[in-house]
A and B are shown apart, each in its own frame.
Chain A
Amino acid sequence: MEKATVLVIGGGATGVGILRDLAMRGVDVMLLEMRDMVHGTSSRYHGLLHSGGRYAVKDADAGRECIEENTILRKIGRHCVEATEGYFVRLPEDDPDYEKEWVEACKKINLPAIQIDPAEAWHLEPNLTHRAQAVYRVPDAAIDGFRMAWQNIDSAKRYGGRVKTYTEVVKINSVNGQVSTVTVRDYFTKQQYDIACEFVVNAAGPWAGQVASCANIPVHVQPDRGTLVAFNHRLTSRIINRLHKSSDGDIFVPHGSITILGTTSTTVKSPNDTQPLTSEVEYLLGIGELTIENLRGFRILRAFCGSRPLYTADPNATGRGVSRGFVILDHAQDGLKGFASICGGKFTTYRLMAEHMSDLVCKQLHNTTLCRTAIEPLVEDTAPEILTKARQYFPAYGVSLAASRLGEDKLKNVIARMEADPTKRELACECENVTMAEIEEVAELPTSHTLSDVRRQTRMGMGTCQGAFCTFRGMGLVSQIEAIPKHDTVKEMKDFLQARYKGLSPVLWGSTLREMELTRGIYESVLNLNGAMFDEKK
């Protein structure tokens, strides 16, 4: 039987944070994820590294945690963070008294909020409305949730941490009130087997209630649906927050060449409910255009939807009324030793959450090693000679992007592939600058089971054309090297395009609709993926 001292359930930010933390303390730890890494909440949010300004008034503790963690993540994860800074902007419709309260609250949590002349703000951010009454600078930043998670995993692996994806937890078994094994199921083969362990950490975010129920323990996590809109433009250089009581649609976060506007907040039954709706997009645009007036003139890339894991001891609390702080539940109190759940929280504080959880685990394992996740960088900087070499083969602007998403080891492999076969230097995904060699490298990783897994790591298919060209190329390459053998290529391409379509279907107008005509023209009209299954029956 396979075994690990600690099993961490959930491959989101918290889970990978715990994996890394425990691995660094010398614990034999394995992470189990039911689908692909970061498929859930940690990749379905606005990518804002909070300064704490948003929580300063309502929840000073959460605000303080944010500014402290913000400072730490900029250092340990600098390849994932774009230090944009942020503005808090008060519009005429926002309460001026709240501004005063907010300024005081920021002081209390040591958050530097510097007031600037709105005229200067317009000068620096020409798309910002001229109706702004007051503007403050705060140390907000943009953070790439995918990359942060992958770099945590890479770091954990160097310390012996292990990861199993597409592995669903079926049952948490115990002997004499102590966790003994976990029964899991392979998502593809449906085979069930047991993994022995001493401790199980439930870090399944909005799915935490479901995981806890595998041990017959009730945990009340309320999934809260948040819809966001990604624009195909960088609307501002900085993050723009509305200076008012936290509400829907009041944050713009620029990432590379795109901008994300969010968020809505709706209580839902299932965390799997992630189909965004046109009505939600319209609602967000209506609010967003108060801050950026010509918002509707910009092309929308897609809409997407995530599920916040709101923890509530009170089953009646909902949405923004629930604290965004986190809690750790040691289920020894429920009569099961060796099982703990971590609930609530937010991406910005994932490392702190992991530290607290790892402290609890280590205490029970009598491990006295101290946490070092706040001081050791996630990945080392790529050596300059490797970057120089990469420049010979990569498009110039793609080098630093590829280096940061691949890490040094995989970058070296990719360069070797390009040297061995010059055709592999070609771009498979022109929008995101992903070369054929990179797709091959990632497709051959043991964690890549589907074309969408390759997408999440390489960003192939996530740019302007949303898979119109690279779906075919990615699939062709993968079949050429016989990676990902489990599925048939037609189904795989359909699944990949469907995942893209999920975010496109609620925003089919303007250029997005034109693009959809092209995508359908290629995959439905020319390649007949739709009718392919019936053509035998003619």
Chain B
Amino acid sequence: MKKNDVIVIGGGLSGLISAIAVAKKEKSVTLLRFGLGTFEIGGGLVDLMAYPKDNRPCRTPAEGIQQLSPAHPYSKMGLPVIEKAVEFFLNLAKEAGYEYEGSTNQDLHWVPTAVGTMKPTGLYSKTFDGEMLKDAKTVYLVDFKGLKDYYAKMTEQNLKRHLGEEKDYKIVIVDPHMEEAIGGRDIMTMDIARWIDTKEGLEECTKQLKAVIKPGSAVVLPQVLGTRPDYTPYIFLKKELQCGITETLCIPPSMSGMRLYKMLHDCARKYGVKIIEQAKATGSVIRDGRCEAVLVNGVGKEHTYYADHFILATGGFYGSGLYAPSAKQVTEPVFNLPVNVSAGEETWANLDLFSDKKQPFSQVGIEVDHEMHPIDSKGQCILKNVFVTGRNLSGYDFSFEKSGNGVALVSAYQAAVSVLGGE
């Protein structure tokens, strides 16, 4: 029987962060993964907190966090832990050569979206530079010939409303020479990003843009500045054009999310995290209030993984970490943990999809103590060596608050601290 110090279940942001944080302290860690979490959806931003109560944004993430109810995961962990987790992440990115910016105390950072709306976030890569749009007199909106899911006119229409009509807006179309694909298959941002990954592609794209773009302007692009966590295309383009450059947030698949994924994956490997693919945890072996092992449905075979500690980062409803077989009934399939549905007890869903209220069903999840141990309705710890992170947690609405990756990051960090401190 091979035994790990720690098993992490889930390969999304919180799974990878907790695995790295533990592995950095020379523990043996195995990460069981069935999918990539929401990297491809949410993008590479780490939203911390923007709308704590209604649809009016707070000034800084820290200010918003202080307004939250005690049931919110952030409130349980507290601001000092949140700040440490943010520092941990920023150091990780720096170490990987793909620096992130932002903090809990800075004003919210507003990033343009493909719709042309602005979205507030906390931690961000340099390619999302919404700030420079404010001062630019001319804004170039770059589209690519044949690119699906990008409509520069719509971006322009709404950006104008946000940034003001007095600026000069121009749409530029770059030809990535993908005629053979047009009409045959979809050209996604990933295809363009792969083209820009190549030296020829980057130079060709820069050449075409340089021919029309005046220095000193702002350039707005879809998420195409490479597939890797590497600022080379961004720095090259910025220097050649002598313009401010920003990517926009697009519908999936998100290239910035894939860059963040690659960065964390490489980092996990560097610190010796063993990653098992296609491993769906289906159950566990529990004895005397402790988990001994998890059962995993691998490719055609069931496996048992033993460890001293387990981190459950299975991603809530979307990741299948939680499952609702019918209205208002929710189960957790690996440890059969009780799920707190009280937020949705009276009203499961708001009448309107978009409103000034958090969605009740979205706040349903597993109740934890400040160490991320799952607790029962009386507040008693259920399993001493199990820790729950990310979207599985109760008490927050990732989407309304703009706090998804933030809660994932901080809870993962706290779970790692608890694992290490419990020795």
Residues of A within 8 A of B (CB): 275, 278, 281-282, 296, 393, 418, 422-423, 425-427, 469, 472-473, 475-477, 479-480, 482, 488-490, 493-494, 497-498, 501, 505-510, 513-514, 516-518, 520-538
Question: How far does the alpha carbon of A491 sit from the alpha carbon of B107 in the complex, in Å?
Answer: 27
Closest to A427 in B: B186
- Residues of chain B in range 50-80 having any CB-CB distance to chain A below 8 Å: 50-51, 55-57, 59
Which residue in A473, A488, A531, A535 is a CB contact (below 8 Å) of B149? A473
Query: How far is the CB of B110 from the nearest CB of chain A, in Å?
Result: 7
Q: Is B119 an interface residue (CB 8 A)?
A: yes
Question: How far does the alpha carbon of A45 sit from the alpha carbon of B382 in the complex, in Å?
Answer: 49
Return the CB mask of B137-158 against A: 1 if under 8 Å, else 0.
0000000001011110110011
Which residue in B55, B115, B398 is a CB contact (below 8 Å) of A489? B115
Q: Is B249 an interface residue (CB 8 A)?
A: yes
Complex contacts, A530 vs chain B, CB 8 Å: 51, 55, 354-355, 400
A-B contact pairs, 12 of them (CB 8 A): A278-B348, A476-B114, A488-B158, A489-B157, A505-B351, A506-B349, A507-B327, A509-B324, A517-B318, A520-B353, A521-B399, A535-B162
Query: How far is the CB of B155 from the nearest CB of chain A, in Å?
Result: 9
**Interface of chain A: mostly helix, strand, loop or mixed:** helix
Of the listed stretches B37-45, B237-245, B270-278, B301-309, name the one at the interface; the rest are far from the partner chain.
B37-45
| B324 x A535 contact (CB < 8 A) | no
Q: Is B383 an interface residue (CB 8 A)?
A: no
Q: Known contacts being A498-B353, A531-B51, is A526 close to B41, with CB within 8 Å?
A: yes
| A520 x B157 contact (CB < 8 A) | no
| A528 x B118 contact (CB < 8 A) | yes
**Extra inter-chain contacts (14) besides given A476-B153, A482-B153, A535-B110, CB under 8 Å:** A472-B115, A476-B114, A488-B157, A505-B351, A506-B349, A509-B328, A514-B320, A520-B362, A521-B42, A521-B318, A525-B398, A527-B119, A528-B117, A529-B117
- Residues of chain B in range 300-339 having any CB-CB distance to chain A below 8 Å: 316-318, 320, 323-329
Q: Is B247 an interface residue (CB 8 A)?
A: no
Which residue in B318, B320, B325 is a CB contact (below 8 Å) of A509? B325
| B249 x A480 contact (CB < 8 A) | no
Query: How far is the CB of A82 from the nearest CB of chain B, in Å?
Result: 30
| A514 x B318 contact (CB < 8 A) | yes
Residues of B within 8 A of A (CB): 38, 41-43, 47, 50-51, 55-57, 59, 107-108, 110, 113-120, 146, 148-151, 153-154, 157-158, 161-162, 182-183, 186, 249-252, 254, 316-318, 320, 323-329, 348-355, 359, 361-362, 398-400, 402, 404
| A513 x B324 contact (CB < 8 A) | yes
| B115 x A296 contact (CB < 8 A) | no
Which residue in B57, B254, B349 is a CB contact (below 8 Å) of A538? B57
| B115 x A535 contact (CB < 8 A) | no
Which residue in B47, B162, B329 is a CB contact (below 8 Å) of A536? B162
| A525 x B353 contact (CB < 8 A) | no
| B57 x A531 contact (CB < 8 A) | yes
Complex contacts, A476 vs chain B, CB 8 Å: 114, 149-151, 153-154
| A534 x B117 contact (CB < 8 A) | no
Question: How far does the alpha carbon of A509 sit from the alpha carbon of B323 in the complex, in Å?
Answer: 8
| A526 x B113 contact (CB < 8 A) | yes
Closest to A471 in B: B251
Question: How far does the alpha carbon of A141 sit from the alpha carbon of B165 in the complex, in Å?
Answer: 56
Query: How far is the CB of B208 from the nearest CB of chain A, in Å?
Result: 18
Closest to A531 in B: B55
Complex contacts, B119 vs chain A, CB 8 Å: 526-528, 531
Complex contacts, A296 vs chain B, CB 8 Å: 325-326
Complex contacts, A535 vs chain B, CB 8 Å: 57, 110, 117-118, 120, 162
| B348 x A508 contact (CB < 8 A) | yes
Closest to A521 in B: B41
**Which of A524, A525, A529 is the most central at the interface, judged by chain B CB atoms within 10 Å of its CB?**
A525
| B249 x A527 contact (CB < 8 A) | yes
Closest to B322 in A: A513
| A532 x B118 contact (CB < 8 A) | yes
Which residue in A425, A501, A510, A527 is a CB contact (below 8 Å) of B183? A425
Closest to A538 in B: B57
Complex contacts, B318 vs chain A, CB 8 Å: 514, 517-518, 521
Question: How far does the alpha carbon of A532 sit from the alpha carbon of B57 in the complex, in Å?
Answer: 10
Question: How far does the alpha carbon of A469 sit from the alpha carbon of B149 in the complex, in Å?
Answer: 9
Question: How far does the alpha carbon of A531 sit from the alpha carbon of B323 in the complex, in Å?
Answer: 29
Query: How far is the CB of B98 from the nearest CB of chain A, in Å?
Result: 20
Question: How far does the alpha carbon of A536 sit from the alpha carbon of B120 in the complex, in Å?
Answer: 11
Query: How far is the CB of B235 from the nearest CB of chain A, in Å?
Result: 25
Complex contacts, B402 vs chain A, CB 8 Å: 525, 528, 531
Complex contacts, A528 vs chain B, CB 8 Å: 113, 117-120, 402
Complex contacts, B158 vs chain A, CB 8 Å: 488-490, 532
Question: How far does the alpha carbon of A497 sit from the alpha carbon of B251 in the complex, in Å?
Answer: 15
Complex contacts, B400 vs chain A, CB 8 Å: 524, 530
Question: How far does the alpha carbon of A482 sit from the alpha carbon of B113 in the complex, in Å?
Answer: 20
| A531 x B120 contact (CB < 8 A) | yes
Question: How far does the alpha carbon of A278 sit from the alpha carbon of B349 in the complex, in Å?
Answer: 10
Complex contacts, A517 vs chain B, CB 8 Å: 316-318, 362, 399
Complex contacts, A506 vs chain B, CB 8 Å: 349
Please give me the 5 A-B residue pairs with the lowest Cβ-Cβ distance, nearest first.
A476-B151, A422-B183, A528-B119, A501-B353, A509-B324
Query: How far is the CB of A464 from the nearest CB of chain B, in Å?
Result: 16
Query: How far is the CB of A300 from the nearest CB of chain B, in Å?
Result: 10
Q: Known contacts being A278-B327, A480-B153, is A538 close to B108, with CB within 8 Å?
A: yes
Complex contacts, A422 vs chain B, CB 8 Å: 182-183
**Which of A278, A473, A498, A531 is the most central at the interface, judged by chain B CB atoms within 10 Å of its CB?**
A531
| A525 x B42 contact (CB < 8 A) | yes
Query: How far is the CB of B146 from the nearest CB of chain A, in Å?
Result: 5
Query: How far is the CB of B218 from the nearest CB of chain A, in Å?
Result: 18
Complex contacts, B359 vs chain A, CB 8 Å: 520
Question: How far does the alpha carbon of A60 sit from the alpha carbon of B318 in the complex, in Å?
Answer: 51
Query: How far is the CB of B327 from the nearest CB of chain A, in Å?
Result: 5
Query: How far is the CB of A116 from the nearest CB of chain B, in Å?
Result: 34
| B349 x A508 contact (CB < 8 A) | yes
| B151 x A479 contact (CB < 8 A) | yes
Query: How far is the CB of A231 from the nearest CB of chain B, in Å?
Result: 14
Complex contacts, A532 vs chain B, CB 8 Å: 115, 117-118, 158
Question: How far does the alpha carbon of A231 sit from the alpha carbon of B396 in the complex, in Å?
Answer: 30
Complex contacts, A522 vs chain B, CB 8 Å: 41, 251-252
Q: Known contacts being A479-B154, A520-B362, is A509 close to B41, with CB within 8 Å?
A: no
